[in-house]
Structure 1
């Protein structure tokens, strides 16, 4: 029999199980207990195993769980995600519900005859004794094993991967990366385009030599960060973050003049997620000229709070503790 109640078992339910088995004439059992290396009660389990009336080995941080499951006739385990691993190997199990989020798994497996479920508080009760007696009957184990093995075919990960691929194969892949010297010319051409210059505080065309020197210098400036937004590996936008204080950064951005519609919010989400995660920013601020309607709408769409204007310039701020940018988008898009 295999006993595994998660890696930690902070309440030492494992010892309660062993003591209950000790009471119920379980001398012929051969038990393997598996615990995580951070489990706080390893010593008490090892101490019990030394004098147990049945054969009992205690393994810590085992790396051959599949083998141990395959070698076992039945198991006592928590009704967590390991339940599906046991199903994959056709292992009949007495499931113990340790947390509320395990109830659904336990109920569903019991409903189809793939396990018997008990609440962990029922370990030292007649109900537990009845369950142990059930699992010690070979014909019961054989019948349950047949039902268990039908549930999982070990191809679930492949199905999930295929489903994700099907969902995303028609979508463009977008990411944010740090700017390099190779981006200097592209950023220069974007910045000097009339469609972009009209929304700049300085609408003059840049001089290449001055821009190249400035760009090279800023690459080494820890208080001024330049990012490039890419779609399918092609640069499509520029974002900068300028440090205002320790955790406050001001951002600026523009898309390539030829960029398709709808990329602004995508670039914005990626850039903000990057700033909160990589710069440790607590607040991002932005300034927008009143005639830049698209940027005004984008700031509002991204969740920025609009402040009173200064010198006829719209002021925005976004605080990490008042938004979900980092949580939502750091995992959704690739951030380098």
Structure 2
């Protein structure tokens, strides 16, 4: 892929506020990093946190906290270009902060779970279940992506959701996030000690946890079998989650991570902003309250929980988020004379010729005659689709008697990434704006599965073609 578009992430994390904002943002960066250059803007990150950030991001931009919020936003907006994207995850990034970026035509994405201010952001992401758009004050143009299907999970947990371990050992996984400012971890250990827990407790704390002395003192004196694990990688987290049929976590990102692996989850709230997730998981019977913690559970109870967990945590979040961010950077433009060579290269690509109904190579002389004729033909509409201003493919409509026949292709270096869908989508949007009351028609060979799936996804009616041999005919009216 040529030049990648840039995304800047702004979040903070420390022992006082926890690491939740950073963890969520890094999960999103991890999903986008192959197609976008991700930069993380943060105040005073811990050394271990820097290492985590650089696993998902191209670079870190460190801030000092001497400036006010608006001055900070102005400083950041000074090195972000028009049309680039900033993702904000933090409760300080209120309306006025967002507005600084909007005034410079920077696209604003907010990860938010408390809906406490008016939003001027282009996009709001909230992975809590049961939340609706009506709970937000936002602009008419703001797009919402709400619910567990947008869970902000890194790759190891998305993969774990697709490959769940059956019949886990009956051990107990305990983690209240990377910081646990109020040391609720110790309260949990004391309660499960009272309940007489007999199995191994894998206890995970993060780099920002500040209560190790009291915790170690308790572990030395307790009869519980506690294995203390500090600052684990995602791979290690999945390993220990798969050793535990039960878990106790806060209703935050860590609960999403455990539910991706599957198991009996008890929730212990450690902050007010966890309320939406807590209520939804309990209401939908995806988890239980820690207040009701018991060692024994029925097989029926586990089956019901597992059924709900599998339907929501499907591991397909990356595709959903790529579609959201592709939508912000994929554009379409009309073709000009200077695009002749580009079209010539595309039309003679071997894969393109193979899927065409005339498989013979096209000579430069033939192409030039065809291209010049199409540019002057009022019934021909030609477009180039671009990703971050890099041409990724073309789409052409030939209009006859209120019918527009589609021809499209994807540049070879952009294949296999879902761009074919966007080329058709952008082309259909453009032709609808320029020409009313058209029936759009496409023909696809039976063996071209990728194109068949695109037409189906875009809502075309599918019939076996009587005009083209071994092909489907696709129709879309508007």
TM-score bin (small chain): 0.3 to 0.5
